[in-house]
């Protein structure tokens, strides 16, 4: 036996009004239609739910029991509608963003601050991992067939990386291109030049990012492709460590332009135009294939787009996403 939701809603109206005619007015349907729906409900349950008289209706014991549940179901239905409306208007919900270290450190904070101010009801979760680790996790989540595992807090809604995802399980696009720039100590001799070549950087003592790749880091691959024999004086495992080493005068480096904005303003480091083709890499926004983007994700992507273009509104300006 399955309760018909429409029949139950009609019965709830009659129970509240204690009158078929009044219930018909509330529901904006005819009195015979109300009586028919109640009779169908009684037939499906096999019990009499109410006694009819000229003065109205009186619930039977079974009717009173069902009326209590009908009120609860109606309240839950209203709550569900309200919850969905809140999600659509971004008054509640969640957003799980994962990003590789450079993006997480130098691009994401400005976006997240504004997102949190604009949508305080959205629960934000941010994870920082290397691209390969993120893709393995997203593939594992995608291969899970249980609703419980899909709904866990570990689920990644969107990932931001500098590595194109492998295989066919992902939807992705380039959201910006990251320029790499040579950096030297602020008062270094190379800082006075109009441009520097790869050979000059290698000769000045190049500091490179450590990499698990057999072909070396992104910068190392670029310089090798340009015909340079790269012999770094030092390898470090983070961009921050590289910047500190350069500022201390240990050598020079080539890093993401995103990473040096504050250092340039403070005159700790200087950049020099690179003599040769621009060193540039794409940054990707990645989701699992076939998964629709929530309102929370769409609003985040709106702000990310402006951050990548340098048009993200200042904190004292209103941010109005087109969602």
Position 148 scores a pLDDT of 39
Spatial distance between the Cα atoms of 23 and 38, rounded to a whole number of angstroms: 11
The yes-or-no verdict on residue 97 having pLDDT over 90 is yes
Q: Work out the average pLDDT over 271-281.
A: 89
Position 89 scores a pLDDT of 65
Query: Higher confidence at residue 224 or residue 250?
Result: 250
The yes-or-no verdict on residue 147 having pLDDT over 50 is no
The yes-or-no verdict on residue 117 having pLDDT over 80 is yes
Spatial distance between the Cα atoms of 286 and 173, rounded to a whole number of angstroms: 7
Measured in whole angstroms, how far is the alpha carbon of residue 59 from the centre of its chain?
Answer: 51
Position 323 scores a pLDDT of 46
Q: How confident is the model at residue 139 (pLDDT cuts 50, 70, 90)?
A: confident
Q: Work out the average pLDDT over 181-189.
A: 93
Position 88 scores a pLDDT of 66
Q: Is the model's pTM score more than 0.75?
A: no
Spatial distance between the Cα atoms of 281 and 254, rounded to a whole number of angstroms: 13
Q: How confident is the model at residue 47 (pLDDT cuts 50, 70, 90)?
A: very high
The yes-or-no verdict on residue 90 having pLDDT over 60 is yes
Looking at residue 185, the DSSP 8-state letter turns out to be E
The yes-or-no verdict on residue 172 having pLDDT over 90 is yes
Q: Angle formed by the axes of helices 20-27 and 5-17, to 10°?
A: 120
Position 83 scores a pLDDT of 63
Residue 250 CA: distances (Å) to CA of 3, 70, 188, 191, 204: 76, 75, 11, 15, 10
Q: How confident is the model at residue 283 (pLDDT cuts 50, 70, 90)?
A: very high
Query: Which residue in this structure is represented by tokens 């003592």?
Result: 205
The yes-or-no verdict on residue 256 having pLDDT over 50 is yes
What whole-number percentage of the chain has pLDDT above 70? 88
């Amino acid at each position: 036996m399955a309760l018909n939701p429409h029949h139950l809603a009609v019965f709830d109206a009659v129970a509240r009004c204690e009158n078929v005619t009044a219930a018909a007015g509330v529901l904006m349907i005819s009195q015979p239609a109300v009586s028919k729906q109640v009779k169908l409900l009684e037939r499906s349950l096999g019990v009499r739910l109410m006694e009819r008289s000229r003065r109205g209706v009186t619930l039977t014991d079974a009717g009173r029991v069902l009326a209590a549940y009908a009120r609860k179901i109606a309240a839950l239905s209203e709550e569900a509608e309200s919850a969905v409306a809140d999600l659509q208007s971004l008054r509640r919900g969640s957003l799980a963003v994962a990003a590789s270290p450079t993006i997480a450190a130098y691009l994401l904070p400005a976006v997240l601050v504004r997102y949190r101010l604009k949508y305080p009801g959205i629960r934000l979760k941010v994870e920082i991992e290397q691209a390969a680790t993120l893709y393995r996790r997203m593939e594992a989540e995608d291969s899970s067939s249980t609703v419980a595992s899909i709904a866990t807090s570990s689920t990644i809604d969107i990932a931001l990386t500098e590595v194109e995802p492998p295989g066919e399980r992902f939807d992705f696009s380039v959201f910006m291109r990251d320029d790499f720039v040579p950096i030297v100590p602020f008062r270094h001799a190379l800082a006075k030049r109009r441009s520097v070549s790869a050979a000059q950087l290698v000769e000045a003592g190049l500091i490179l990012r450590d990499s698990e790749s057999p072909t070396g880091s992104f910068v190392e691959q670029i310089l090798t492709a340009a015909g340079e024999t790269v012999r770094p004086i030092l390898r470090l495992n983070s961009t921050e460590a590289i910047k500190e080493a350069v500022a201390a005068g240990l050598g020079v480096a080539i890093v993401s332009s995103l990473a040096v904005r504050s250092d340039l303003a403070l005159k700790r480091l200087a950049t020099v135009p690179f003599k040769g083709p621009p060193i540039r890499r794409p940054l990707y926004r990645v989701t699992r294939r076939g998964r629709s983007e929530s309102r929370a994700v769409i609003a985040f992507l709106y702000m990310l787009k402006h951050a990548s273009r340098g048009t993200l509104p200042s904190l004292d300006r209103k941010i109005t996403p087109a969602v």
